[in-house]
Structures are given as structure tokens and as C-alpha cells.
Amino acid sequence: MLNINNLKASIDDKQILKGINLEVKPGEVHAIMGPNGSGKSTLSSVIAGREGYEVSGEVLFNGKDLLELAPEVRAWEGIFLAFQYPVEIPGVSNTNFMRTCINEQRKYRGLPDMDASTFLKTMREKAELVELDPNLMKRSVNQGFSGGEKKRNEIFQLAMLDPKLAILDETDSGLDIDALRIVSNGVNKLRNKDNAFVVITHYQRLLDYIIPDFVHVLMNGQIVKSGTKELAYELEEKGYDWIKAELKEAAL
């Protein structure tokens, strides 16, 4: 589904991604862990098409060259990014925002606008999935939402748009213990054999709920180690120093 080959990205002559290789197949969950500033959010931004990066390498999504596509086209093709820091949009209600998103996606797929009653029904269902307070639908997108509400709202939007590939950038940070469970369960219910998830996190705990098929360690702009979910436990226990030491040794 997603094939990343030797992806490099820099901003203002500062190289952040230094040759990423990653393959994600339908039905899989990949976790990406790594120290602060290692390039995790940058990787997700580059996949989703944020402007302002100097990018080289290849990103294929179901055979299509993603780097050629505008960010909204990537979204319509089925890529969703749950933001580490969701933005606020004053004066635009969550409902209105979602309606616009859904109908733009449908237009791209040659479908008519979703009728109002189906839309409202879907909204209700998906809000329940992550136990999002229905009152938040009338409020402006993320405006005045608590940190946790913003994160839930991201997963609610994910559920509404039903992407093929969802990237969750630190969705767990800011969620309380119960919310973490609720949101994770929501994500698990959305999993199926045709979609895939890339979960960026600092904590092994999330991976107890959303069980990954693979765990990758991103350091200094490169995936330096990949493994199964056991790798996450090892990181939780030992931190990143041992990997750095390993790398140094290998370099000698």
C-alpha cells in the first residue's frame, strides 16, 4: 500500500529526514518510536503533503507517486493524518467542517453530496465510537477544546473519513487513562484487512491497546531499527542509548 524509498527531506537547508525506507501493507499496524526531534512528525507531514520541504526519494501509495499530488488529493486518495497538534478554526462548526470534508471526498470519487440525514446519523455513530461529547459538534473546530477533546476529535474525523492509511501522530499524549482505552478501542474497531495504521508514539502503553505488527525506531532522520512489539518493551525499559551505542559500534 505504502512504499517509501530513500526519502529525504530538508527545510531551510537543514536535513531532517535522511533516507527513510518503509513498506506498509494493507491490514498492518506499524508503530514508529524515537527521541524528540528525530523526524517523526516531519515524516508524517511529508507523506501527507505539507508544503515547504525540499523532498527527494520516492513515496508510492497503491502505486501512485504521492509526492506529485496536492495534499487534498492525497487525502481524497485515502491518507489521513491525526495531528500531534490539531489546529483551531474559529467560526467554523465541527459539523460544517466535517460536511465539507466528506463531500469534497465524495466529489473526487464521483459521488453526490451525502444527504443530511445519513450525514447526521454517521456523525452520531462515529462520535459514539470515541465517546465524543455531541455538544462539541456545534462548536468551532477544536476551539476551546481540551487537549484530550482535540485528540478524540482527530480520531472522530478519522472515523468519518474512513481512510486507507491513517497516521496517528502522538494521539496518546494528552489523553487520560480512560480516554486512551476508549480511543484505542475506537481505532481497533476501525481496523480491517484493507486499511493500515502508522502509529507514532513515545509510550509502549498505547501499543498494549493497539497492537502493532512492526515497531520502528526513528533516530536522526533514519529508521535505525525495526522489530516486533517486543522492541517497544525494550525501549520502554532501556531508553534509546543502547541503540545509539549499537549504531556507534556498527559504524566502527
Partner 1 sequence: MSTSEQDILEQITGDDYKYGFVSNIEQDIIPKGLTEDTVRFISAKKNEPHWLLDWRLKAYKHWLGMTPPDWQNVKFPPIDYQDISYYASPKEGSKLNSLDELDPEIKATYDKLGIPLEEQLILAGVAVDAVLDSVSVITTFKEKLAEKGVIFCSISEAVQEHPELIKKYLGSVVPYTDNYFAALNSAVFSDGSFVYIPKGVRCPMELSTYFRINAKGTGQFERTLLIAEDASYVSYLEGCTAPKRDENQLHAAVVELVAMESAEIKYSTVQNWYPGDKDGKGGIYNFVTKRGVCMGNGSKISWTQVETGSAITWKYPSVVLKGDNSIGEFYSVAVTNNLQQADTGTKMIHIGKNTKSRIVSKGISAGKSQNSYRGLVKVRKSAANARNYSQCDSLLMGDKCGAHTFPYFEINNNGATVEHEATTSKIGEDIMFYCNQRGISQEDAVALIVNGYAKEVLDKLPMEFAVEAKKLLAISLEGSVG
Ligand X SMILES: Nc1ncnc2c1ncn2[C@@H]1O[C@H](COP(=O)(O)OP(=O)(O)OP(=O)(O)O)[C@@H](O)[C@H]1O
For ligand X, the binding residues (CB under 6 A) are: 11-12, 14, 16, 34, 36-42, 84
Locate 161 and state its grid cell: 473519513
Specify the residue, 63 or 91, whose C-beta has the smaller distance to partner 1. 91
* 3-class DSSP assignment, residue 26: coil
* CA pair distance 196, 190, nearest whole angstrom: 10
* CA pair distance 177, 172, nearest whole angstrom: 9
Specify the residue, 34 or 78, whose C-beta has the smaller distance to ligand X. 34
Rounded to the nearest whole angstrom, what is the least distance from the CB of residue 33 to partner 1 in the complex? Answer: 23
Q: Which residues bind partner 1 (CB under 8 A)?
A: 45, 48-52, 70-72, 74-76, 80-81, 83, 86-92, 96-97, 100-101, 104-105, 108, 140, 157, 161
Specify the residue, 107 or 181, whose C-beta has the smaller distance to partner 1. 107
Rounded to the nearest whole angstrom, what is the least distance from the CB of residue 39 to Mg ion in the complex? Answer: 8
> Is residue 35 within 8 Å of residue 219, measured between CB atoms?
yes
The stretch near Mg ion (CB under 5 A) out of 11-19, 32-40, 93-101, 157-165 is 32-40
Specify the residue, 152 or 225, whose C-beta has the smaller distance to partner 1. 152
Q: Which does 42 bind (CB under 5 to 8 A by kind): ligand X, Mg ion, partner 1, none?
A: ligand X
* CA pair distance 47, 59, nearest whole angstrom: 7
Rounded to the nearest whole angstrom, what is the least distance from the CB of residue 98 to partner 1 in the complex? Answer: 9
> Computed from CA positions of residues 15, 16, 21, 26, in that sequence, does the dihedral angle turn out positive or negative?
negative
Interacting positions 111-170 with Mg ion (CB under 5 A): none
Site membership for Mg ion, residue 41 (CB under 5 A): yes
| 3-state helix/strand/coil string of 29-85 | EEEEECCCCCCHHHHHHHHHCCCCCEEEEEEEECCEEHHHCCHHHHHHHCEEEECCC
* CA pair distance 38, 154, nearest whole angstrom: 23
Rounded to the nearest whole angstrom, what is the least distance from the CB of residue 36 to Mg ion in the complex? Answer: 8
* CA pair distance 67, 55, nearest whole angstrom: 8
Q: Which does 120 bind (CB under 5 to 8 A by kind): Mg ion, ligand X, partner 1, none?
A: none
Specify the residue, 14 or 193, whose C-beta has the smaller distance to ligand X. 14
Specify the residue, 14 or 248, whose C-beta has the smaller distance to ligand X. 14
